[in-house]
Amino acid sequence: MRNEQGPLPTDIYLSFVSSLYHNRGMLVIGMLLHVATFLLVFLKTSDAFYLACIVAILFLWVLRNLDMMRFDRSDLSDADDAAVRRWENRYIAGGVAVALTCGAACAYAIAVTRDSFAQLACISVTLASLSPLVGRNFGSERAVLLLLSSAACLPMMIAALSLGDPFMAALAFLILPFILSTRMMANNVRSFLSEKVLSARNDNLLSAEQIGTIASQFETALNSMTRGLFMLDRHSRVAVVNERAAELLRLGDKAELKGMPIDDVLERGARGMALDAEKSEYIATQLHLLIAGRRSRTLISIAEDLFLEFAAYPRENGEVVLILEDMTAHVLAERQILYMARFDMLTGLPSRNHFAELVHDAMGVDAAPDRDVGFLLLDVAEFRHVNDTRGHIAGDKLLKAIAVRLKSLAAAETIAARLMGDEFLVFFPNLPGRSDLKERICGLHAELQGTYVADGLRFEMAIDGGFVLVNASDFRFEELQIKADLALSEAKKRGHGGCAAFEEAMEARYLDRQKLKVDLREAVAGRALDLAYQPMFTPDGSRVESCEALARWIHPERGSVPPPVFIQLAEELGLVTELTRLVVAQACRDCLSWPPEVAVSVNLSVLDLRGDEIVGVLTGILKETGLAPDRLHLEITESCLMADPARVQKVLHQLRAGGMTIAIDDFGTGYSSLSYLDSLPVSVIKIDRSFVHDIDEDSRHFKLLLGIVNLARALELKIVAEGVETPEQLQLLRERNCADLIQGFVFAAPMPASAVAALCTHTSQARAASVGSPSADFHENPSQPKSLG
């Protein structure tokens, strides 16, 4: 069948042919009409020909109905044009047979019967049944043409012509326009309908070009996904797969995967990734759970360096979309974070928190409550010195080397960790059958000390250790760490490289010290500290040039607390600059009550020189009290200079620029090199009393003192000799011109401020009377303390 654009698509052709077969009602009506008409004509004419026509009509009707039922039963979903045409032909054959019967009846009535009723009845019923032809048979152009011509045209025209009557001949030709117009109508209806059907269908369908474009867009989108995708059909066979999925599971060419059962796909992946049977089975199980909808997503560790997350999205029609994502970077980052929280990055040893967890676990598993466990705290002695002199890189390498040795010594039975900086912790579990816990701890400590090579340098390292042994049933982590810490402090006090066991007395001392700290804080806040002054005399004792302010703390219960003790406590409490501020303020006020040529010396703590706050504090006090800056001397120890040389140097220059005098205290006990003095704004050195106290007995000591003196003289520094106790010492120092000023019990012990005023008056009177040495009657008098504030 064709329309104006060419052949009709098969499906439309088929629907037109189907329409022929589905008009059964019309067929029944036509059959009844024909039978009734021929019956009437028979009754009128008694001509058996019409009975034959009735029989023919009924026979054809039965045949055509049977054919229609066959059509209904046949499966035409895959029918091609030829098959459809066969059905069309069968229909046309039936139609033409009926039309021929009618045409024959007409022709017979016109040419043979010549009865006017028979003629009228036959022609009317034939033409009447031709009109619905259009409505019924428009689907087949050939059917319309053949029916019209066979039913109407030929028999009727032949019969009319055969009569030899010119009027009847004319009538025969007048039938032609009717045939043509009917055919035209049928054709119009058909082409109108086929056009509508085609355009409606084209609106819904896409052109091949459009389909191609969409397919390639889909393919591009699919293959540029960062996630892998499988679309599985109802039988878990691959319907769609993208490049990423094939790549993630090492599946090779994705084109080969189409239609493959997912199990085979997995097998192929397992081969590609060389997975063992157990692993591939596990992965398969997980995927089956996903596909079955028992789980929506799952993270699978395919290999050490490959973690994939699978997610399943089931569809209503039984298909499943599987999405897989490479989570490796994510998982590894998470692990790294966890590792960083648990382990020290430099040494790879557990950090404190993780160490606590490990120890806790070890205690939970196999600690026998009746046996001891050990806890050793280690501190690398003078490690800061390595950092300061060799740099942090060398320092880090040294720590690493120590950690490596620690790991090898600690072995499997113990747990080692790095605390902050240069401190390490080792836990010794109570292994069955080992009672030598103490020896094991001391042995490890001893072997850890010694020579290390790091960053191409050799280091001879001493390591301080403090340990505690405790019954496993009394194990409390925090408490043990504190106890080991106390033991470590004790070891440090005894000199470097020792290893001390915790003793109860240490804890008592520790608690005592904590209490003393509380009291000191109160004393500083309440300004309950006092000052004593110790004068520095010219060697002949005729004149006091300066007095050193020395802090005093009389504890309400414990009595006098030695300055080195409470100064250290103040440093630990962060209170020392506040203490310095109080001391300097009082010292300046007291100095104002002395003769103008007498200066006052104050001691600064290492911590005072950490920042430049001290510059403001001191200049502020000088301004407030109105004391001339050159009457304020500052004593700093050599250790102050070592901490942060550049910063301290800067602060000292600022102080010197403010007019204050700077003295190095306890000279000779700290730094071995004297050359640094050259670059500092220092004008006085105070030679430590350890160089002075046996010069009259040990000539070697005296030579050492002379060496220091020569150096100081070369640097044009003023020399104060500290701790001069005996006239013999004084005599020696004078003879060899070893000091510009003498401080010591030989002239005067520390005394109250008021006593200084009296002493100065006394010495100036003595000078006036030209008598040499001052009396040593002036001593500290705790009964008349001069309170700070």
Cβ nearer to ligand C2E, comparing 64 with 552: 552
Rule CB under 5 A: say whether 88 interacts with Ca ion: no
The whole-angstrom separation of Cα 510 and Cα 337 is 38
635 is an interface residue for Ca ion by CB under 5 A: yes
* Residues paired with 719 in a beta bridge: 685
Nearer to ligand C2E, 1 or 587 (CB): 587
With b meaning 16 or more CB within 10 Å and e meaning fewer, what string describes 573-604? bebbbebbbbbbbbbbbbbeebeeebbbbbbb
Sequence letter at residue 263: D
Rounded Cα–Cα distance for residues 508 and 334 (Å): 46
Sole residue written with tokens 């000292």: 652
Nearer to ligand C2E by C-beta: 590 or 666? 666
Instruction: Tell the smallest beta-carbon distance from residue 698 to ligand C2E (Å).
Output: 17
Q: Least separation, in Å, of the C-beta of 658 and ligand C2E?
A: 19
CB of 689 to ligand C2E, least distance (A): 6
Residue 178 interface partner, choices ligand C2E, Ca ion, none, CB cut-off 5-8 Å depending on type: none
Report how far residue 765's alpha carbon sits from residue 772's, in angstroms, rounded to the nearest whole number.
11
How far is the C-alpha of 785 from the C-alpha of 249, rounded, in Å?
88
For ligand C2E, the closer CB: 49 or 745: 745
Q: Hey, which residues between 663 and 682 contact Ca ion (CB under 5 A)?
A: 665-666
CA–CA gap between residue 206 and residue 214 (Å, rounded): 10
* Distance of alpha carbon 637 from alpha carbon 664, whole angstroms: 6
**Contacting residue, 603, 661, 743, 763, with Ca ion by CB under 5 A:** 603
Q: Return the structure tokens found at 231.
A: 């679309």
Stretch near Ca ion under the rule CB under 5 A, chosen from 172-180, 485-493, 539-547, 660-668: 660-668
Instruction: Report the residue number, 42 or 747, with the smaller CB distance to ligand C2E.
Output: 747
Q: Which residue, 162 or 538, has its beta carbon nearer to ligand C2E?
A: 538
Minimum distance, C-beta of residue 635 to ligand C2E, in the bound complex (Å): 6
Closest distance between ligand C2E and the C-beta of residue 550, in Å? 4
Q: Write the burial class of residue 304 (CB in 10 Å: 0-12 exposed, 13-18 middle, 19+ buried).
A: exposed
Q: Which is nearer to Ca ion, 179 or 687 (CB)?
A: 687
723 binds, among Ca ion, ligand C2E, none (CB under 5 to 8 A by kind): ligand C2E
Least distance to ligand C2E from the beta carbon of 532, Å?
7
User: Which residue, 387 or 603, is less far from Ca ion as judged by CB?
Assistant: 603
Alpha-carbon distance 31 to 57, whole Å?
7
Give residues with Cβ within 8 angstroms of 90, minimum separation 6.
Answer: 67
Q: Choose the one of ligand C2E, Ca ion, none that binds residue 551, judging by a C-beta under 5 to 8 angstroms depending on kind.
A: ligand C2E
Shortest reach from residue 624's CB to ligand C2E, in Å = 19
Of 445 and 693, which CB lies nearer to ligand C2E in the complex structure? 693
Minimum separation from the CB atom of position 560 to Ca ion (A): 18
Would you count residue 580 as binding Ca ion (CB under 5 A)?
Answer: no
Q: DSSP letter string over 472-498?
A: GGG--HHHHHHHHHHHHHHHHHT-TT-
User: From the list Ca ion, ligand C2E, none, which binds 403 (C-beta under 5 to 8 Å, kind-based)?
Assistant: none
Query: Nearer to ligand C2E by C-beta: 414 or 743?
Result: 743
Distance CA 458, CA 659 (A): 46
What does the block give as tokens for 370?
């009746």
Asked if 638 interacts with Ca ion (CB under 5 A), we say no
Q: List interacting residues with ligand C2E (CB under 6 A).
A: 534, 550-551, 562-564, 567, 583, 603-605, 635, 665-666, 689, 723-725, 744-745, 750
Minimal distance, residue 656 CB to ligand C2E, in Å: 19
Q: How far is the CB of 644 from ligand C2E (least distance, A)?
A: 18
129 binds, among ligand C2E, Ca ion, none (CB under 5 to 8 A by kind): none
Q: Categorise residue 314: left if φ over 0, alpha if ψ from -120 to 50, beta otherwise.
A: beta
Select the binding partner of residue 583 from Ca ion, ligand C2E, none (C-beta < 5 to 8 A, by kind): ligand C2E
In the complex, what is the shortest distance from the CB of residue 787 to ligand C2E, in angstroms, rounded to a whole number? 14
Q: Is 534 in the site for Ca ion (CB under 5 A)?
A: no
Six token digits for residue 320: 């499943």
Name the binder of 488 from Ca ion, ligand C2E, none, CB < 5-8 A by kind: none
Report the length, in residues, of the chain. 789
For residue 562, the partner it binds in Ca ion, ligand C2E, none, with Cβ less than 5 to 8 A by kind, is: ligand C2E
Supply the minimum distance, in Å, between the C-beta of residue 566 and Ca ion: 15
Per partner kind, with CB cut-offs from 5 to 8 A, the member of Ca ion, ligand C2E, none near residue 534 is ligand C2E
3-state DSSP helix/strand/coil % of the chain, to nearest 5? 60, 15, 25
Nearer to ligand C2E, 313 or 745 (CB): 745
Q: Which residues contact 119 (CB under 8 A, 6 or more apart)?
A: 106, 109, 110, 113
CB 625 within 8 A of CB 589: yes
- Cα gap 88→145, rounded to integer Å: 13
750 contact, one of ligand C2E, Ca ion, none, CB 5-8 Å limit per kind: ligand C2E
Tokens 């290999």 -> residue = 303
For residues 319 and 588, give the distance between their C-alpha atoms in angstroms, rounded to a whole number: 94
Q: Which one, of 666, 669, 635, lies nearest residue 652 by Cα?
A: 635
Q: What does 567 bind: Ca ion, ligand C2E, none (CB cut-off 5 to 8 Å by kind)?
A: ligand C2E
373 binds, among ligand C2E, Ca ion, none (CB under 5 to 8 A by kind): none
Nearer to Ca ion, 37 or 603 (CB): 603
What are the distances in angstroms from CA 269 to CA 273, 275, 326?
6, 8, 15
Report the residue number, 155 or 744, with the smaller CB distance to ligand C2E: 744
Minimum CB separation of residue 720 from ligand C2E in Å reads 10
**Token pair 């395919």 is at which residue?**
302
Sort strands 718-721 and 684-687 into parallel, antiparallel or unpaired.
parallel
Q: Are 633 and 546 in contact (CB under 8 A)?
A: yes
Largest CA distance in the chain: 193
Which CB, 122 or 604, lies closer to ligand C2E?
604
Which of the listed partners (Ca ion, ligand C2E, none) does 550 bind, with a CB threshold of 5 to 8 Å by partner kind?
ligand C2E
Please state the closest distance from residue 382 (CB atom) to Ca ion, in A.
23
The answer to whether the beta carbons of residues 519 and 750 sit under 8 Å apart is no
Within 10 A of 22 (CB to CB), how many other CB atoms are there?
A: 14
Contact 31, 222 (CB under 8 A): no
- Identify the three-state secondary structure at position 575: coil
Cα gap 166→172, rounded to integer Å: 10
Q: Is 325 in the site for Ca ion (CB under 5 A)?
A: no
Residue number with CB closer to ligand C2E (68 or 648): 648
Binding partner selected for residue 605 from ligand C2E, Ca ion, none, CB under the kind-specific 5 to 8 Å limit: ligand C2E
Alpha-carbon distance of 261 to 783, in angstroms, equals: 103
- Count of residues engaged in binding Ca ion, rule: CB under 5 A: 5
Q: Binds 132, which of Ca ion, ligand C2E, none (CB < 5 to 8 A, cut-off by type)?
A: none
Smallest gap from residue 508 Cβ to ligand C2E (A): 25
Q: Which is nearer to ligand C2E, 146 or 759 (CB)?
A: 759
Closest CA to 175 of 154, 192, 191: 154
**CA angle centred on 147, ends 141 and 152, rounded to 5°:** 135
Q: Minimum distance from CB of 713 to ligand C2E (Å)?
A: 22
| 259 versus 616: smaller Cβ distance to ligand C2E | 616
Provide the binding-site residues for Ca ion, judged by CB under 5 A: 603, 635, 665-666, 722
